[in-house]
Structure 1
């Protein structure tokens, strides 16, 4: 069983997850921790939220959130990562769904992201479409919003 919940503080065990990400060449969780400590990004604005996924034993399996997009009038998916042994079990999709539900509730007309090439297929499977923009690789729009 996996539980996805909104969090308002960085998990105490984020370093372990960040180490797994770094071992794969992904630095986004190190950036998350540095920005949090510096106070430059804490997912604290009303339309922003950070989510964590844990298994039944409380092990942190993944993390991700949504923030204001600094380059467009949209929200932005940020800092998504699921540890390798937990992949393929719907955890990433559950994190994305939680973030998108939050974004919809906040009235967002569009959500964008910048994905590494290896993650493009995942994001497209979540409904995002490639976009031609130097600041984002994918976007998702809700008709009638904005």
Structure 2
């Protein structure tokens, strides 16, 4: 059984994203291209209050998954988080890695936000997020939402 570690990413330029980029493109996703472009041009550095970018690394230090948490740009000033740029290498799926990464992001979210939203375009993605407690919420920018109880603690 491979052991994975989750850690905060401060600078994408220090990482080899090749495997993730190629795999995501083969699946028809462009979210990691957007992640890199937005990071490089300063549009999204995951550096505002409550935001973070986390990576999942195998024992050899290879990046096998990534996911971020932003202040929701559509929230009109409300304290709303958005889960974004979430991707796990296909060969590493169904091992609990995505669940661990999503839970780490939600734990971070609870420190700042009462609600987190996301947009997924696949049935598998919807099923995954619903298994984490998200509920469908169909708007032009959001497919799923999770609301935290105000008395939630970081121990979940």
Unaligned stretches of 5+ in structure 2? 152-156
**Residue 15 of structure 1: CA displacement?**
2.6
Residue 86 of structure 2 aligns with which residue? Answer: 80
CA distance, structure 2, for counterparts of residue 18 and residue 111 of structure 1: 25
Please give the residue correspondences for 1:97-116 in structure 2 after superposition, counting only pairs within 5 Å.
97-106=103-112, 108-116=113-121
The corresponding residue for 1:49 is 52
From 51, 57, 61, the equivalent of 1:58 is 61
Structure 1-normalised TM-score? 0.94
Structure 1 distance, partners of 2:63, 2:138, is 34
**Superposition pairs for residues 1-146 of structure 1, below 5 Å?**
1-10=3-12, 11-72=14-75, 73=78, 74-106=80-112, 108-118=113-123, 119-144=125-150
Q: Which runs of 5+ in 1 are unaligned?
A: none
User: In the comparison of the two structures, how many residue pairs are matched?
Assistant: 144
SS at match of 2:138: strand
Deviations 1:38-96 (A, max 9, x none): 00001001210000001111111100010011112310000000000000011111111
Q: Could you say which residue in structure 1 is the equivalent of 2:154?
A: none
Deviation string 1:1-23 (CA, Å, 9 cap, x unpaired) is: 01011111115211321111001
Runs of 4+ more than 6 Å apart: none
SS at match of 1:127: coil
Q: CA deviation at 1:143?
A: 2.3
Q: What secondary structure does 2:98 align onto?
A: helix
